[in-house]
Amino acid sequence: MKQFRQKRSPSSIFPAPENGEVVELNPPSLQWVAEPGVSLYRVRVERLPQQETVAAGTTAYNYFRIRRLLAPGRYRWNVASGDAELGWREFEVPASARPFLVPSAREVLARVPDIHPRHIHYRADLPELRERHKPQLEIIRRNVKLALSQGFMRYPDFYRPDGRIDYRRAFDESRQYFDRNLVACALAFLLLDDREAGQYAHEAVLRLCEWNPAGPASVCGQWGDEIGLSICRVLPAVLDWTWHLYTPQELKWAADTLARHAEQLWERVTGEEFLAHPGNSHVGRLPGYLGEAALVLYGTIPDETAERWLNYALEVYGSIFPHYGGRDGGWAEGPFYASSYTKWYLPFFFALERHCGFSFLEKPFYRRVSQFFLHFAPPGQEAHPFGDGNWPTADEWPGFQAQDPFGVYAERFGPPEAREFSRQLTGAIDRYELHLLDVIRPRPPHPEPDAAGPASDSYCSRDTGLLSMRRCVADPVHDVAVLARCSRYGTPSHQHADQGNFAVLAAGKALIAPSGSFGYIFGETHHRDWTQQTVGHNCILTDGKGQPKDSAEAVGVILDFQDDGRLCRAEFDLSAAYRMLTNYTRTLEFDREALLLRVTDELEAPGETVIDFRLHSYARPAAEKELVRLSRFPASAEIRLRSTAGAGTFSWTDRFRHPGGGPEYPPGRQLCDQYHLNWRFPACRRLRIDAEFRISPG
Residues 188, 671: Cα–Cα separation, whole Å: 35
Three-state DSSP at 480 gives strand
Residues 590, 691: Cα–Cα separation, whole Å: 12
| Contact predicate 391/400, CB 8 Å | no
Query: Domains (ranges, CATH) in the chain?
Result: 2-99 (2.60.40.10), 123-302 (1.50.10.100), 322-449 (no CATH), 458-696 (2.70.98.70)
Residues 153, 174: Cα–Cα separation, whole Å: 7
Residue-level pLDDT at 551: 98
pLDDT along the chain (698 residues), means of 10: 94 97 99 96 98 98 97 99 98 98 98 98 98 98 99 95 92 95 99 99 98 94 93 99 99 99 98 96 98 99 99 98 98 96 98 98 98 96 94 64 91 97 94 95 90 97 99 96 99 97 97 93 92 98 98 98 98 99 99 98 98 98 94 96 94 95 88 93 98 95
Smallest CA-to-CA distance from 497 within 8, 10, 5 is with 10
Residues 576, 10: Cα–Cα separation, whole Å: 15
Residue-level pLDDT at 222: 87
Q: CA angle at residue 87 from 84 to 92, to 5 degrees?
A: 150
- B/e letters for 336-353, b = 16+ CB within 10 Å, e = fewer, are bbbbbbbbbbbbbbbbbb
- E strands, 254-332, in order: none
Residue-level pLDDT at 399: 58
Residues 281, 323: Cα–Cα separation, whole Å: 9
Residue-level pLDDT at 394: 62
Residues 483, 375: Cα–Cα separation, whole Å: 9
| Contact predicate 391/381, CB 8 Å | no
| Contact predicate 95/72, CB 8 Å | yes
Name the DSSP class of 631. Answer: E
Name the DSSP class of 197. Answer: H
- Neighbour-count burial of 427, counting CB atoms closer than 10 A to its CB (0-12 exposed, 13-18 middle, 19+ buried): exposed
Residues 468, 456: Cα–Cα separation, whole Å: 10
Q: Which amino acid makes up residue 562? A: Q
- Phi/psi at 50 (5° precision): -70, -20
Residue-level pLDDT at 337: 95
Residue-level pLDDT at 523: 87
